[in-house]
């Protein structure tokens, strides 16, 4: 993977954190880092894992402790610009997935991703999704999961995209509250910054709007897509007031 290690300045820019905030996280050992002589570097994959865990924590999956005050800056890129219209269309939504297990959810979503023509190596995508779920489930309270590869790779996809699947029946997917999941997003982003901000945007919508209820009630992919776009516009409009 290109740029496997990041300097402190590169890590702060990637996470949209102030250098001082990153220094404080390092001093408190609240973020993964390595020492190379007198330099501190950050392994990109460890940083991506840390960032996604904390963003998912904003949706209630994992309590975020002392570093919470500095973390919202990492979710603030282009706060007034919608992300979703450029990432998802109705044909990227499956409103009736027959999957009944975690393995079959992964299989069905990879098949949907393959059908877009944007995935360079579907088996590698499946392996990376499984590696991320093995590390920690991407399901959060509310019956939704945000699947994504273990680490973004610019060569995994020919463009960035978002998929959404809704299972016919909720399944147990490892949500921290022990409740089943029926809504499954799959993030396919070419770069880590877009990945983190898309994940943060989706978690914000799940937390601050009734989007999840609308997605469950929508009759078809077109209705689910309309609910997504409308919810994002509503949140952005409220933020500008």
- What's the whole-model pTM score? 0.79
Taking the CB of residue 173, how many other CB atoms lie within 10 A of it? 24
User: Please, what are the domains in the chain?
Assistant: 5-75 (1.10.1660), 84-239 (3.40.930.10)
For the chain, what percentages of helix, strand and coil (3-state, to nearest 5) are there? Answer: 50, 15, 35
User: Given this model, what pLDDT does residue 129 score?
Assistant: 96
Contact 221, 91 (CB under 8 A): yes
- 107 tagged catalytic: no
Digit-coded pLDDT (tens) for 184-227: 999 999 887 788 889 889 988 998 899 999 999 999 999 999 99
Write out residues in the chain with pLDDT < 70, as ranges: 1-3, 57-80, 241
Q: Which residues pair with 219 in a beta bridge?
A: none
User: Given this model, what pLDDT does residue 57 score?
Assistant: 65
| Residue among 16, 54, 148, 225 flagged as catalytic | 148
């Amino acid at each position: 993977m290109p740029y496997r290690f990041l300097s402190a300045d590169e890590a702060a820019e990637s996470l949209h954190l102030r250098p001082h905030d990153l220094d404080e996280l390092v001093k408190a050992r609240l973020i993964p880092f390595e020492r190379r002589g007198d330099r501190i570097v950050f392994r990109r994959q460890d940083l991506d894992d840390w960032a996604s865990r904390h963003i998912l924590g904003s949706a209630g999956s994992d309590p975020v402790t002392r570093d919470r005050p500095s973390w919202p800056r990492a979710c603030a890129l282009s706060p007034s610009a919608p992300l979703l219209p450029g990432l998802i269309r109705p044909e990227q939504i499956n409103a009736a997935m027959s999957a009944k297990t975690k393995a079959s959810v992964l299989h069905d979503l990879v098949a949907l991703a393959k059908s877009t023509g944007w995935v360079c190596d579907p088996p590698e995508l499946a392996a990376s999704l499984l590696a991320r779920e093995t590390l920690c489930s991407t399901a959060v309270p509310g019956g939704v999961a945000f699947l994504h590869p273990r680490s973004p790779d610019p060569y995994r996809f020919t463009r960035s995209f978002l998929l959404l699947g809704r299972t016919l029946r909720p399944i147990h997917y490892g949500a921290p509250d022990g409740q089943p999941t029926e809504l499954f997003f799959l993030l396919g982003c070419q770069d880590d910054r877009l990945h983190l901000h898309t994940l943060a945007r989706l978690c914000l919508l799940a937390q601050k709007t009734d989007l999840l209820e609308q997605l469950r009630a929508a009759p078809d992919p077109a209705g689910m897509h309309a609910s997504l776009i409308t919810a994002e516009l509503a949140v952005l409009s409220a933020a500008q007031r």
